[in-house]
Amino acid sequence: MTLRKILITISLTATFSACTDLDIPPTNILGDEEIFGSNAGVLSNVARIYSRLPIEDFKYYYPSGFNYNGTLYKQMAALTGEAVGRDTQGADNEGFSYWDDGYAEIRDINMLLEKVPAYAATLGEIEAQTYLAEARFCRAFTYYALVKRYGGVPLVTTTIDYPASVDLEGTRLFRASEEAIWDLIASDLDYAIENLPEESPAKGRVNKYVAAAFKSRAMLHAGSIAKYNTVDGTQDQNGTIVRINGVPANRAEGYFKAAYDAAKLVVESNKYALYKGLWEAGDLAAQTRNFRALFMNETSENIFVKYYDETNSSHNYDESVQPNQTKSGGNDSEINPTMDFVEMFDGIAKDEEGHFDNIDDNGHYYLFDSPLDAFANAEPRLRGTVIFPMDTYRGKVIEIRRGIWTGDASGGIPPLASEGNTGNVADFPDPHLHLASALGSNPEIELEAGDPHGDRMRAAGANGPVSNWDFGNVGGIYLAKYLRESGPTTGFNSTQSWIEIRYAEVLLNQAEAAYELYQAGAAGDNYLTVAYNNINSIRERAGATLLSNEVDLNHIDIIRTERRKELAFENKTYWDLKRWRILHEEQNNRRWRILNTFYSTDAQQYFLSVKFQEPRAGFQYLFTFDTRYYYQPIPEAEINKNPNTKQNPGF
């Protein structure tokens, strides 16, 4: 039939002529060959792995996670008593779960481990070996971030081939024992130490000693858990009882030894040294400058560093920590060091309890021409770490003041009603006390004739603290560590490098491991001598009082305190307090103590009041650490998806 013929002819011509091929290759997806077939390609994948390493740096925000893109209102330093913050209202925990991101990182690493060998010839055997060792380092680093939070976690060392060869049930792995995770970390790092070059192929990438330095940290942590942990969690996994929380105590010595040896490898390589570029014996100012410079520069002390630049990656540390006085918009004053922190250091007048001595024998405040005078002889490391009231920063005298007292000072100034008290200063009426309720309503107080400070002075200075919820200082002191002296102070314009591992930590790791081994009576090196030497070299650089002989090193707390002073505000202390299992003792209905600077118009001098952190906006700032948080809860969603994941005790 003609009609039919026409229809068919039309259909056929149409189909064969201008048809579009439906097999259109993607414009934006690359294959294995493009990525693993060249060093530039592998490096892009390696960059991916590094970029998502769980490094708790300037962009780590404990309520939300790593690489946080926002204002850092809450700071980890406020969890340890080093500092107080407006927004950390009590003992707090991570508000996110490092789980999915951790395993995503592990998958990327495992994939690289699986793909690179096939391309080894093209890439070069040495290069390929370096990539593999680097990946093992990164895997250890990631598992360390998991194990310190959760204890034993599912052990994944290959890419889970779902859905091709593994079914849904096959993805529901049990948690491995905590011990197995620590051992995986050790073996991955051993591989890395064995196979990485002596020198990093590029700045920022790891080498043999970075792996060793990190191993000293991880194994010290493992040893601490074995020795101090009290939480025991087990799971019956098809008849086998697996200890998912805690490590057998008999492993402690082995882990400490591993930490000690790894640190020793770094020390004996002589590739790193404590930075003393600006340091001069006996010169407190030079030693202070030296300590500040350490965090701003590329120094011999840097072992593993995460770099930033203006165009591609930047952070907002300066904005968060900036004194209100020097800010140019944005946020400020999120870290306010406490007196509890300050009192750990040498060179400050202290009473019998070790507290800062601000009241004389007659029960009156000591008076100072400048609040700085009270800290003139403080250990340079402290002066390098914090900004005291009237310290100079960015060419400005940082005016931190709680208020002005206009009472009669002729007979000495007796303690204010708020001294040592838990309330807000504004709640203790004193007709002579002039405070600011907010920075925007900061009254100017008339000074007496002839006052060297002029005619008028703002009650709360240029930074506060003020009585109500507002920007500005809330603790009386500012932080100096890592803070730039120049450059923008607002937004994401900071590019300081984050020193994840520095040599001082390795010395401290070695000292702590050595002391633990010494206490355990372990055979081998003269552990006490090593610990003694390491502590003293740290103290010497710090400008602190040296231990006079090995016998003085009679308690682990000496090493721990040294560590807390040296590594303060580097996001390490929180985990230290946790691994020592002493955070609950430190924070048991505790309020942190702050410095309140007042000016007396009559005396024309300052006096320093020490009191507890002031309640604001209804928040009491009372810290109690719940011991179950020594292990953080595994995300509920993961347990729903994988019922074989047993929850940690207490949740």
Partner 1 sequence: MENQYKLLLKKLIKFSLWGTLSQCLLITSIFASEVNKEMNTREFLSVNALWQQEVTVTGTVTSEDGSPLPGVNVVVEGTSQGTTTDADGKYSLQIPDPDVVLIFSFIGYTSQEVPVSARSVVDVNMIPDIQQLGEVVVVAYGTQKKATLTGAVSAVTNDEIITTKNENLQNMLTGKIAGLRVRQNSSEPGQFNSAIDIRGFGGPVLVVVDGIPRDNMTRLDPEDIESISVVKDGSAAVFGSRAANGVIIITTKSGTKTGEPSITYSGNMAWQVPSNYPDLVGAADWMTLYNEKDRHNVDNSNPALKYSPEEIESYRNGTNVSTNWKEAVMRKSAPQTQHTVSATGGNDKITYYSSIGYQYQGSFLQTDAINYEKYTLRSNITAQVSKNIKFDLKLSGISDTRESSPYGSNDIVRAMWLHRPMDKVWYNEEAKQYGMMDWNVILNPVAMMDKDLVGENNYQSKWFQSNASITYDVPFLEGLSLQGLYSFDYTLNDNKEYSKAYTLYLPTGTPYEANTQSVGNSRISRFFYAKNASLWRLQIAFEREFGNHYVSVMNLLENSHYRGDNFYGRRYGVLPVDQLFGGIAEEQQTFQSDDDDALYNYANRASVGRVLYNYKSKYLAEFSYRYEGSSKFPENSRWGFFPAVSAGWRISNEPFWANSTTLNVINDLKLRASYGITGDEDAFAYQFLTGYQYPAGGSRTGLPGGYIFGDSFVSASSSTGLANTSITWYESKTVNIGLDAEAWDGLLGMTVEYFNRNRSGLLETRIESLPGIVGAKLPQENLDSDQTRGFELELRHANRIGDITYQLKGNISYTKTRQIYHEMATAGNSYLNWLQGRNDRNTNIWWGYEGNGRMTNWDDIYYNPVYIGRGSVPGDYEYRDWNGDGWINDLDVHPLAINGQVPLVNYGITLSAQWKGLDLSMLWQGAGRKYVLAREFLYQPLWSNSNAIADFTNRWHPADPNADPYDPATEWIGGEYGYTGSSPNALSDFNIQNAAYVRLKSVEIGYTLPDKVISRIGLQNVRIYGNAYNLLTFTKLRYMDPEFYTTNDTSRNGLVDLGYNYPINKSYSIGISAKF
167-196 positions binding partner 1, by CB under 8 A = 168, 171-173
Name the residue nearer to partner 1 (CB basis): 515 or 631. Answer: 631
Among 439, 447, 479, 499, binds partner 1 (CB under 8 A): 439
Question: Is residue 199 classed as helix, strand or coil in its secondary structure?
Answer: coil
Q: At closest approach, how far in Å is the CB of 331 from partner 1?
A: 8
Is residue 165 near partner 1 by the rule CB under 8 A?
no
Among 64, 87, 96, 107, binds partner 1 (CB under 8 A): 107
Among 92, 94, 105, 512, binds partner 1 (CB under 8 A): 105
Name the residue nearer to partner 1 (CB basis): 27 or 410. Answer: 27
Name the residue nearer to partner 1 (CB basis): 200 or 601. Answer: 200
Segment interacting with partner 1, rule: CB under 8 A, options 49-57, 216-224, 548-556, 606-614: 49-57
Q: Which two tokens stand for residue 521?
A: 């009576």
Q: Write the interaction track for partner 1 spanning residues 219-258; mark x where CB under 8 A is met and - where it is not.
A: ----------------------------------------
The four Cα atoms 138, 139, 141, 142 give a dihedral, to 10 degrees, of: 120
Kindly determine how many residues on this chain lie close enough to bind partner 1 according to the rule CB under 8 A: 100
β-pair type (386-387, 605-612)? unpaired
Q: Which of residues 600-619 bind partner 1 (CB under 8 A)?
A: 618
Residue 618 CB contacts under 8 Å (≥ 6 apart), including other chains: none
Q: Which of residues 26-45 bind partner 1 (CB under 8 A)?
A: 26-32, 34-35, 41, 43-45
Is residue 93 near partner 1 by the rule CB under 8 A?
no
Question: Is residue 19 classed as helix, strand or coil in its secondary structure?
Answer: coil
Cα dist from 30 to 34, 113, 598, whole Å: 6, 19, 65
Query: Which run of H or of E encompasses 518?
Result: helix 503-520
Is residue 108 near partner 1 by the rule CB under 8 A?
yes
Segment interacting with partner 1, rule: CB under 8 A, options 73-81, 242-250, 337-345, 490-498: 490-498
Do the beta carbons of residue 346 and residue 544 sit within 8 Å?
yes
Q: Which two tokens stand for residue 458?
A: 């703002």
Do the beta carbons of residue 506 and residue 213 sit within 8 Å?
yes
Q: At closest approach, how far in Å is the CB of 231 from partner 1?
A: 21
Segment interacting with partner 1, rule: CB under 8 A, options 121-129, 151-159, 245-253, 564-572: 151-159
Q: At closest approach, how far in Å is the CB of 20 from partner 1?
A: 4
Question: Is residue 68 classed as helix, strand or coil in its secondary structure?
Answer: coil
Buried b (16+ CB within 10 A) or exposed e, 85-120: bbebbbbbebebbbbebbbebbebbbbbbebbeebb
Q: Which of residues 330-369 bind partner 1 (CB under 8 A)?
A: 330
Segment interacting with partner 1, rule: CB under 8 A, options 165-173, 286-294, 392-400, 476-484: 165-173
Instruction: Say how far apart CA 244 and CA 176 lie, in whole Å.
Output: 6
Is residue 486 near partner 1 by the rule CB under 8 A?
no
Among 38, 93, 313, 604, binds partner 1 (CB under 8 A): 313
Give the count of alpha carbons within 13 A of 529, CB side only: 3
Instruction: Say how far apart CA 7 and CA 343 lie, in whole Å.
Output: 95
Name the residue nearer to partner 1 (CB basis): 8 or 118. Answer: 8
Instruction: Say how far apart CA 224 and CA 318 lie, in whole Å.
Output: 34
DSSP state of 590: B
Segment interacting with partner 1, rule: CB under 8 A, options 375-383, 395-403, 568-576, 637-645: 637-645
